[in-house]
Homo-oligomer: A and B are copies of this chain.
Amino acid sequence: MSSIRTIGRFAPPDPGNGDGDAVHFCSTCAFGEVCLPGGYDKPALLELHCLVEHVGPFHAGDPVFRNGDRFESIFAVRAGTVKTSLVDEEGREQVLGFHLPGEMIGLNAIHPARYPCDAIALDTVYLCRFSFPALATLATRMPGIQQQLFRLLSADIGKAALLAGDYNASERMAAFLILLADRFAARGFSPTRFRLSMSRGDIANHLRLAAETVSRVLRRFQDQSLIRVEERDIELLQPDELRQTARCILHP
């Protein structure tokens, strides 16, 4: 049996200087539609590009922002994975979500004017930082940017509710894998082979399960030849079957 350890890892080209690959990253980004030339006049586009600041690298465990920090910016993930979570007064963590390249974080901070959660890098992370006041001002002049902001905000509503239903462990786990696969696919990565950048504990927490249950479900899926697991590398052998298991979570 061949190992799958050497596949499925998307080794991100170092986006440190962020020049040569700017277009590549923007094309997979939630803001790509407005960042990339698409009907906008050059001066307006320049303004947008001016207020984008490339930040990083963050390393595993580094905070991007902390619960309670004053809100100033929203971020787009350029490379790596960011975990958002809350820690209650008793110190128990609650994982709200994982954010892949092209996805935004910080949108839920506009209203309280403070970040309402922690954002922690799970691996090596590069971000685009958008000053929100500047973005909002620009949005009054560029309807396309306003539209995109409305869309991004609207799309985030209820995203967390997907996993909130009273589903069993298999349905949750299947939905988690399929949602990940779809998000990878949307960004041009392989939807059938990928590497989980988060620990079993984080997955379990996010799905409101015990880490032991995650282990057991993954093993059951593997015994049913639905997936192949090797450490954090995942291969979806029968994605349609998984999708079927998760349909009650995914379809509504």
Q: Which residues of B contact A150 (CB under 8 A)?
A: 110-111, 136, 149, 153
Q: How far is the CA of A111 from the CA of B155 in the complex (A)?
A: 5
Whether A107 pairs with B157 at a CB distance below 8 angstroms is yes
Q: How extensive is the interface on chain A, given as a class?
A: 35 or more
Whether A157 pairs with B161 at a CB distance below 8 angstroms is no
Q: Is A223 an interface residue (CB 8 A)?
A: no
Q: How far is the CA of A146 from the CA of B135 in the complex (A)?
A: 12
Q: Is A139 an interface residue (CB 8 A)?
A: yes
Q: Which residues of B contact A208 (CB under 8 A)?
A: 164-166
Asked whether A158 and B160 contact (CB < 8 A) given A88-B248, A143-B140, A166-B208, the answer is: yes
Whether B136 pairs with A146 at a CB distance below 8 angstroms is yes
Q: A residues engaging B (CB < 8 A)?
A: 86-90, 92, 94, 96, 107-112, 116, 136-137, 139-141, 143, 146-147, 149-161, 163-166, 208, 247-248, 251-252
Whether A248 pairs with B146 at a CB distance below 8 angstroms is no
Q: Which residues of B contact A86 (CB under 8 A)?
A: 252
Point out the residue from B109, B140, B161 that lies within 8 Å of A164, measured CB to CB.
B161
Interface of A is mostly: helix
Asked whether A89 and B151 contact (CB < 8 A) given A136-B143, A143-B136, the answer is: no
- In the complex, besides A87-B252, A94-B252, 15 extra interface pairs with C-beta distance below 8 angstroms are A92-B248, A107-B154, A108-B157, A108-B158, A110-B153, A111-B155, A116-B158, A136-B143, A139-B140, A140-B140, A140-B143, A153-B157, A157-B157, A163-B164, A164-B164
